[in-house]
Amino acid sequence: MLTARELKDRYAAGENIGELLRKVRGETRNTPEIIELSYDLQTGSYILAMQDPAMREHKRLYATEIARVILSLCDPRSVLEAGCGEATTPSGVLAAMGRDIQAFGFDISWSRVAWAVRWLAAEQVEQATLCTGSLLQIPFADDSIDVVYTSHSIEPNGGNEASILLELFRVTRRFLVLLEPGYELSGPEARQRMDHHGYCRNLKGVAESLGDSVLAHEPFPHIANPLNPTAIAIIAKSQSAGSRQSSFVLACPKTKSPLDDLGGALFSAEALTVYPGIGGIACLRAENGILASKYLDMFA
Ligand SMILES: C[S@@+](CC[C@H](N)C(=O)[O-])C[C@H]1O[C@@H](n2cnc3c(N)ncnc32)[C@H](O)[C@@H]1O
């Protein structure tokens, strides 16, 4: 059994932690535990990469194009990046949108969210609310966000495409925009690499099989790694969903019901569960919750 500290040392020595854990655990795909460990240990690497002028320019072009696509679809009051990592994508998207929008982000890794908060403060992006959360149980209410987008976060979740798309679609009010590996649009070498890393596939086909309306699916113009080319998929929610608007945004990941901010934690009156805040970050993965049926009585 490898401890997290041992894995941290092996990451520092240059090992690919996802690959190592899949081998040790006998998995061909990435479990949420493997994803959390491998990304949490990488924390800081995306912010560091922004010191490279070429990478910074690539990210600026990438984020500006995302913003352009979103604004071509609608004039959103709220956007969410699901699997926001260190927020080096949303900082550019929000800057390029240049308007007052309620912005949200979540990630499975606490450390990455903590670094994202720092990065956004350094980039003077003030309107964002970040928390931890899972793509498989998103801690946001139904129809709560005008535009939900992902940027290579479904990527390591091969095998869970349908469950994740259902969750993303549930939270979306108007449009869901996916920037993910374009398996079906790639050549054999890139496909082989994606298969090896347990990446997602066939997002367009899965979305259509769920009855979603896919408006576009095509190569994205700005690509960091030719062996992992980004494709963009745009999915529209029905007009009737667009006319609904949730009265709350953050939600219990188990019941999708509202959360009350009490005693430095978020309480779900439906799940009778408290979700802690650690370092100022709401921890909204289902497994972070503590059953506390008497929590409200402490404040009576
Ligand atoms: C390749 S990084 C991309 C980060 C960011 N979206 C960007 O564009 O820089 C993938 C991110 O998705 C997160 N992620 C992957 N699977 C997830 C899941 N099931 N639930 C929540 N976050 C997840 C990882 O922790 C990681 O931060």
Mean pLDDT of the 111-137 span: 96
Q: What is the pTM of this model?
A: 0.97
pLDDT value at 297 more than 70: yes
For the domain spanning 53-242, the CATH number is: 3.40.50.150
pLDDT value at 243 more than 80: no
The four Cα atoms 220, 122, 80, 100 give a dihedral, to 10 degrees, of -100
Q: What pLDDT, on the 0 to 100 scale, is given for residue 238?
A: 78
pLDDT digits (tens, 9 = 90+) for 29-68: 999 999 999 999 999 999 999 999 999 999 999 999 999 9
pLDDT value at 81 more than 80: yes
- Among residues of the chain, what percentage have pLDDT more than 90? 93
| Residue bearing the CA closest to ligand 1, atom 10 | 153
**Cα(297) to centroid(ligand 1), Å:** 37
Any atom of ligand 1 within 6 Å of the Cβ of 110: no
What value does the mean pLDDT of the chain take?
Answer: 96
Any atom of ligand 1 within 6 Å of the Cβ of 30: no
Mean pLDDT of the 80-109 span: 96
**Cα(124) to centroid(ligand 1), Å:** 22
Mean pLDDT of the 242-250 span: 85
Mean pLDDT of the 110-123 span: 97
Q: What gap in Å lies between CA 285 and CA 292, rounded to an integer?
A: 16
Mean pLDDT of the 110-121 span: 98
Any atom of ligand 1 within 6 Å of the Cβ of 112: yes
pLDDT value at 127 more than 90: no
**Cα(107) to centroid(ligand 1), Å:** 6
- Sequence ranges of the domains in the chain: 4-42, 53-242, 260-299
Any atom of ligand 1 within 6 Å of the Cβ of 113: no
Q: What pLDDT, on the 0 to 100 scale, is given for residue 241?
A: 67
Q: What pLDDT, on the 0 to 100 scale, is given for residue 242?
A: 65
Mean pLDDT of the 81-101 span: 95
**Cα(45) to centroid(ligand 1), Å:** 13
Q: What pLDDT, on the 0 to 100 scale, is given for residue 245?
A: 79
Q: Which of 255, 292, 291, 279 is nearest to 132 (CA)?
A: 279
pLDDT digits (tens, 9 = 90+) for 174-223: 999 999 999 999 999 999 999 999 999 999 999 999 999 999 999 999 99
Residues 6+ apart with CB under 8 A from 268: 252, 254, 255, 257, 258, 259, 274, 275, 289
| Residue bearing the CA closest to ligand 1, atom 19 | 135
Burial 148-180 (b: 16+ CB within 10 A, else e): bbbbbbbbbbbebbeebbebbbbbbbbbbbbbb
Question: Do the Cβ atoms of 262 and 299 come closer than 8 Å?
Answer: yes
**Cα(260) to centroid(ligand 1), Å:** 27
| Residue bearing the CA closest to ligand 1, atom 26 | 85
Task: Identify the band that residue 138 occupies on the pLDDT scale cut at 50, 70 and 90.
Answer: very high
Any atom of ligand 1 within 6 Å of the Cβ of 161: no
Q: What pLDDT, on the 0 to 100 scale, is given for residue 180?
A: 98
